[in-house]
Amino acid sequence: MAGTLTPEQAAIMLSMLKVDLGILGTTAYDERLAQLLEASAESITREGAALDLAAVLDQELVVEYAAWLWRRRDSHAGMGDGLRYRLNCRILGEKARAVNTASAPDTPSAQDSGTPTDGGGDSG
């Protein structure tokens, strides 16, 4: 998957996906669902989000995307407004933080501002 995912995190995300889809009490689909989780993370990354798969919100986003991929097999339905909204917020929020970080003025240090740092100076 995109990012570093421990086996425990992968198991948690698979369990979350199975609950979302109502696939309980069987492991018959586990391999396919794990592939959907991987494809979802890669798709989200390709759209512009740098996922932190240790973060619960990013795990939720990947699981929701994977659930949409699973459900659209039969219906061929487009992405729901809620999922598209969360995905856009994640991507645009990240880009906004990057722009703000890049354009933020450097904070002057005490030395740069002319303020003595040792309390000394020429006072004599």
Separation CA 122–CA 7 (nearest Å)? 63
- Distance, first Cα to last Cα, the chain: 66
112 part of a folded domain: no
18 part of a folded domain: yes
pLDDT at 114: 53
Cβ proximity of 69 and 87 under 8 Å? no
Tokens of 106: 């450097």
pLDDT at 122: 55
pLDDT at 24: 93
Separation CA 94–CA 71 (nearest Å)? 28
50 part of a folded domain: yes
pTM of the model: 0.75
Per-residue pLDDT of the chain (124 residues; tens, 9 = 90+): 445 678 898 999 999 999 999 999 999 999 999 999 999 999 999 999 999 999 999 999 999 999 999 999 888 888 999 999 999 999 998 888 888 887 766 655 555 555 555 555 555 5
37 part of a folded domain: yes
74 part of a folded domain: yes
Cβ proximity of 54 and 4 under 8 Å? yes
114 part of a folded domain: no
Q: Which domain holds residue 96?
A: 7-100
pLDDT at 30: 96
